[in-house]
Amino acid sequence: MADPVLIKICGVKNEAILDAAVDAGADIVGFVHFPRSPRHLELDPIAELISMARGRVESCVLLVNPDNTLVAQVAALGPDWIQLHGPETPHRVEAIRDEAGIAIIKACPIGSAEDVAHVAAYAECADRILLDAKPPKGADRPGGLGDTFDWALLKALDPSLGFMLSGGLTPDTVAAAIKAVGPMGVDVSSGVEKTPGVKDAGLVRAFIEKARAASA
């Protein structure tokens, strides 16, 4: 019997959506600290949400190429995970993990076989790998764009490398994604929103239900 798929709801901005995600059975909730994202929150509201999540669900703070000061500020909030969603090198990921003393999810953008080949470099320095669609050239942010990528590219990945799948997943597509790719977890942000940055509790519940049913 395979382990149940982990479910992460990213870009949570308020208590109502946090509660909806927890009540529906999410494993991880993510908070975005990146000013160019429609899901951006300052650190004070993130601290409050982490406190509300504690003991109910794991929490994750998403950062993009953070400096050491920001890493220390976020580590002080006590999330379960820090997600690195920028161009961080394996060496930098390892340094952030050592400095923060917090488990790291490293997002790797996938758009080609070459991108897949780079994933293995993060296997040792990150605690978990998240595969996301590579943003188009000129995009103003590295993820949360609602794009999918060609899952067939992942056939080249080392099968022993567990990963979470992201990139344009929705309640309508998550079951097919789980069956096609066999990820250890799935991550959704824009796919459960009414408008950019505004989550819908009904879509959050539907996503989690479909993901759970597919991995049962």
Give me the active site residues, please. 10, 132
Give Cα separations from 213 to 25, 135, 172, 174, 207 (angstroms): 12, 30, 12, 10, 10
Report residue 143 as tokens. 């993820």
Q: Which residue has the tokens 């090198």?
A: 89
How many CA atoms, within 13 angstroms, populate the side-chain half-sphere of residue 58?
A: 14
* Alpha-carbon span 171 to 148, nearest angstrom: 14
Report residue 191 as tokens. 């796919």
Sign of CA dihedral 36, 41, 43, 47: negative
Report residue 142 as tokens. 């590295």
Give, for 195, the enclosing helix (H) or strand (E).
Answer: strand 193-195
Is the distance from CB of 200 to CB of 16 less than 8 angstroms?
no
Report residue 185 as tokens. 């977890």
* Alpha-carbon span 177 to 173, nearest angstrom: 6
Cβ-based neighbour number of residue 197 at 10 Å: 16
